[in-house]
Structure 1
Amino acid sequence: MTRSVLLVFLLICGGRISAQFFQPVAYPQKFFRDPLDIPIRLAANFGELRSNHYHMGLDIRTEHRENLPVFAAAGGYIYRVKIEPFGFGQAVYIRHSNGYVSVYAHLNSFYPALAAYVKQKQYELKRWDIFLELPQGLLHVKKGDLIAYSGNMGGSQGPHLHFEIRTWPDDLNLNPMLFGLPVADNTPPVIRSLSVYDRNKSFYEQNPFFTTVKGKAGRYAVSQPLLILKTPNPGFGISGFDTQSGSVNPNGIFQGIIYDNGEAVSGFRMDQISYDETRGINAHIDYPTREGGGPYYQLLFKMPGYLHSIYREAGRGGYINLEDGKLHIIRIELKDTYGNTSNLEFKVRYQPQENLNMSYPGKVFYPGMVDGFEAADAAFYLGATCLYDSVHLAYQETAGDGKDVVSALHQFGNTRVPLADTMTVRIKLSIPGIQKQHILMQWINGDDFEIRKPEWLGDWATASFRSFGSFRLVLDTEPPLIRIPGVVENANLQRSSRIAIVVQDNYKKIKSFRATLDGNWLLFTNDKAWAFMYHFDEHCAPGKHELKIYAEDEAGNAAVQVLHFTR
């Protein structure tokens, strides 16, 4: 076979491979309708990049309004209801006959039959936040039936409907745009800039190269005609976004594939993601750059410790090899769910340079290994699924400083290195004999902090965290502060529609809240956790009443407040 014939053969094979690089899956079209009665305009799409997670559905705009009717996207039965202060807020799950589940979140309220059932269960369970499994034959719905009203509850930052499609029973989230929902889109993705990495080094122990991109309408090029690279095995990332027709909202990119001389090497596709793997976004992006205030760069190669589903690699293991020293044409192809395509093409060549061996402090840890670090007064243990790439982790101990601090400050690792799973942290108490039941373990990063109630073995406290940083033990004996704004003792509340309770804590974490009216449990909502709210209903008859509020923080400190009023 001549060289020219061989080249043609390889190009044809490369084209055939790339055309089927991601095997198409046939999803039912038109089975699901628009869950609202207004045209779909997206505030966010599936797989969009967020802090520590992918966006797992569609955020449908509600024209800056709340309480729009929400309809069943297909027939089935309501099999779950979730109510929580953050996250989904209030959500409805409908199971359908074809094995799919649709989810509707950030709702202000449910339709009457469901609302009555949920309220009954809340009083039976004596809690507002619930995750209910409903009997199969209880609440059937047809396609287009009213199920709820839209809102802004939970983790929502503005009025919209969050809509998901999942598989059952494994709860794998699917991209709703693949089901033929009526969303107009004829605009290709936009590419802003390119990043280059050395795959022979730890992702967290190198200085990436960044370059701007020029172009529009699907055709892009880098600013330099030729990129001379210092590594024979580069990895690439792109910063960009996608939009839908008639919208300027920057949404996530559905698919990206990288080609080396016409042959597909590796790529990602946002067609299905489970909640178990959503934190894997930190291995799909350039996490250190993002944490340092830079843009999102989506990696077109899979990191060693990323075990999940969005990537596919070709036979060469997803590696680009430039050791031949020749000119290589690299092409990055981005697509949306409608097939609108953008291409970034550029030339690269490897030029060997003197290898400067950099030294990093600390002990080196690897993905896939169980390992730890032990000091005199602290220890850190990482499981096999904790890391996405190898990295040196340094430890430093400094004297404890601050009110109620009861241990030294132990710094381990760098906050710009993400943890895929929790690590175990052990710290020794530096002041023996104090009240361990009121001691918390605290993670600190600048002004941010998290607390855990540790387990004890002698003078050693143990807790789990999902971030590197600084850790210490603190004594918390301060109970929460309960306030009832605008209401005084023996108030007449006949003209009031509700009572609001504000609970504050010095470590900003309330473990439990309970309210009773004349000795009977009373339902207070807790949307976004800023306040607890009771709306007067049949549980508060006319007359004199005693309202008792109980709040407990993570350290076990409790507060009680009693209010007498007339209704």
Structure 2
Amino acid sequence: MDIKKVFILGVSLINMLFLTAQDSLPLNYFRSPLDIPLYLSGNFGELRSNHFHSGLDIKTQGVEGQKIYAVADGFVSRIRISPYGYGNAIYIDHPNGYTSVYAHLQKYEGKIAEEIKKYQYKNKTWEMDYYPSDTLLKVKKGQLIALSGNSGSSGGPHLHFEIRETKSECPINPLLLGFDLKDDVHPTLRSIVIYPLTDSSVVNNINKPQHVRVTGNRGDYKLISTTANFAYGPIGIGVDVIDQLTGVSNKNGVYEIKLFVNNQEVFYSKIDKFCFDESRALNALIDYEYYLKTNQRIQKSFILPNNTLSIYKNQKDKGVVFIDYEKEYDFRYEITDVYQNKSILSFKIVGMNTRITKSTKQAQTTDTLFSYADSNFFENTFLQVSIPKNALYDDLPFHFSISDTMRSAISPTYQVHKETTPIHLPITVGIKVGRLAENLRKKAVIVAIDANKKYYSRGGEWRNNYLVASSKTFGGFAVMLDTIAPKIEPINIFSNKNLENQKSIQFKISDNLSGIKFYNGFIDGKWVIMEFDGKTSKLTYYFDVISKGNHVFKLEVIDGVENKQSIEIPFIR
């Protein structure tokens, strides 16, 4: 008997039994959204910047223009077009209570495309977030709805595909639904981190996280170093782990992480579903400070007090383990992907045999202590900071300082705690500045300043004598003035050019601070659709029906504080 065939059959049966166990999910209800083999560049729950990945990134063979099909009967419930995020996207509600989402599209097809153009001209906008009635755009399973693309914030041609619960809008893991993908690759463990969690905790005689490298393959892992790791007090463990699928090199996320101590499960996470309002708590799951410094994500197997992620399925003492003197603790990670390929890492941590008599960490001064369970407010002569309830993941020893005024700023830089501390909800920052003429007040914005002294506009509105804006991060803040109009650069048009053989007119637009707010194009005074690519800052008009002869193209661009730039160019068609 062919042993290899028996093994493959066995794995297939295990996968079938596993998927069948998901009896509340619509197994094999949906067809593939593409008619090419499915290979993934990103999977569900993968760790991304400030969020979990909410679907599958399906490769489109490196090109745009692959046919996209409705995965089941239903109706188009939403159409969104944006230069950022999902780009061109379609949402289809299905009668079984689920919604399919198709994003980063190149173009729409059939009646959907006709309805979009009608909406855009009626509302004089290319960007749109449109909710058609449930009778307007009905679709059948297998109906062509769009072509794949690279729109929005996509980093290359692919289809972003989701399945959501229609009522809650929470995405679920599409790989639980029976789509035809191949995977016999075990998760890859790269390192662990041992964290001392209090001032009196130590790991290998110091009060700092200890990174320990891992070696192994095909599901069997061990620590590279054979030297014992000693600790005392409350500790937590983190793991650097990725997953891959058969036939592709992309690094994806894992499905389940279990941590055992002395054969008792102390932590269990599973990414089968999440909701968008909790997704930012990914920053509490990972070692956020380490990520900002290294761009590597360590997944912590212990839970901060106000981290309420639903992916945590079981935990003991929030995953915190107390290491006592002269005792030995057997740790074991069991990490699996959605197809139940499992990797195991076993290691020991030994309690120190030398007693600690005092804290190893020097006490730091704190301006005030903020509770995560309350709303919090900080104020001095020129600054107000409001932190809403549940914005913090843990109680916060809050720090504040003032730095010199940056070049181009009209206020000092106010350092509002540290950008390495993640927050779940936006904070409000208000800065008082000196006397400003009314015309300059309209041009003022608050900027957020990162550790590299780069600054980004957060906008702002005046409330009494404070310029107020919201921010999703702590860090430095100051006030700057934006008095410079946006810049318009023609790409393929100049005065009186004959455009008879061109398919489009293109411009590049940019702004120095507050960002592009509006743009409008006109031919002979009539509004036309201008498509904006946020990655390249290019605006494009694709020629529609236009008479032969002389014409004038006009483009208007307005930034976030109403600085306006316009250009008029005569052309021949």
Shared fold, TM over 0.5: yes
Matches within 5 A, 1:122-521: 122-200=120-198, 207-225=208-226, 227-293=228-294, 295-314=296-315, 316-323=317-324, 325-351=326-352, 352-354=355-357, 355-363=359-367, 364-403=369-408, 405-433=409-437, 435-445=440-450, 446-507=452-513, 509-521=515-527
Aligned equivalents of 1:274, 1:201: Cα separation in 2: 35
Distance of aligned partners of 1:202 and 1:31 in 2 relative to their CA distance in 1, 3 Å threshold: farther
Matching residue of 1:113: 111
Contact 2:514 2:560 in 1 (8 A): no
Matching residue of 2:53: 55
Contact 1:509 1:554 in 2 (8 A): yes
Matching residue of 1:553: 559
Aligned equivalents of 1:383, 1:229: Cα separation in 2: 40
Contact 1:301 1:311 in 2 (8 A): no
Aligned equivalents of 1:431, 1:474: Cα separation in 2: 14
Cα distance per residue 1:56-84 (max 9 Å; x no partner) = 11101111111011111122122111110
**One-letter code aligned to 1:242:** D
Q: How many residues align?
A: 543
Distance of aligned partners of 1:469 and 1:134 in 2 relative to their CA distance in 1, 3 Å threshold: same
| Structure 2 segments unaligned to the other structure (5+ residues) | 1-17
Q: Displacement of 1:212 after TM fit?
A: 0.8
Q: Displacement of 1:146 after TM fit?
A: 1.1
Aligned equivalents of 2:298, 2:332: Cα separation in 1: 17
Cα distance per residue 1:308-339 (max 9 Å; x no partner) = 21113335444323337522211111011111
**One-letter code aligned to 1:528:** G
Distance of aligned partners of 1:25 and 1:431 in 2 relative to their CA distance in 1, 3 Å threshold: farther
Question: Any idea what SS the aligned residue of 2:425 has?
Answer: strand
Aligned equivalents of 1:134, 1:239: Cα separation in 2: 44
Once structures 1 and 2 are overlaid, which stretch shifts more, 355-364 or 58-67?
355-364
Contact 2:232 2:325 in 1 (8 A): no
Aligned equivalents of 2:364, 2:473: Cα separation in 1: 20
| Structure 1 segments unaligned to the other structure (5+ residues) | 1-19
Aligned equivalents of 2:291, 2:318: Cα separation in 1: 27
**One-letter code aligned to 1:523:** I
Aligned equivalents of 1:466, 1:241: Cα separation in 2: 27
Q: Displacement of 1:525 after TM fit?
A: 0.5
With structure 1 as the length reference, what TM-score do the two structures score? Answer: 0.91
Contact 1:226 1:349 in 2 (8 A): no
Q: Displacement of 1:210 after TM fit?
A: 0.9
User: How large is the RMSD of aligned CA atoms in angstroms?
Assistant: 2.2
**One-letter code aligned to 1:269:** K
Once structures 1 and 2 are overlaid, which stretch shifts more, 80-89 or 526-535?
526-535
Distance of aligned partners of 1:294 and 1:142 in 2 relative to their CA distance in 1, 3 Å threshold: closer
Cα distance per residue 1:500-559 (max 9 Å; x no partner) = 122221116101111222222211011225111100002x33232232221111122111
Aligned equivalents of 2:531, 2:149: Cα separation in 1: 15
Aligned equivalents of 1:231, 1:303: Cα separation in 2: 20
Aligned equivalents of 2:192, 2:295: Cα separation in 1: 13
Question: Any idea what SS the aligned residue of 1:321 has?
Answer: strand
Aligned equivalents of 2:178, 2:227: Cα separation in 1: 41
Aligned equivalents of 1:562, 1:172: Cα separation in 2: 47
Aligned equivalents of 2:300, 2:108: Cα separation in 1: 41
Matching residue of 1:16: none
**One-letter code aligned to 2:56:** L
Contact 2:44 2:56 in 1 (8 A): yes
**One-letter code aligned to 1:359:** A
Once structures 1 and 2 are overlaid, which stretch shifts more, 295-304 or 193-202?
193-202
Aligned equivalents of 1:495, 1:305: Cα separation in 2: 61
With structure 2 as the length reference, what TM-score do the two structures score? Answer: 0.90
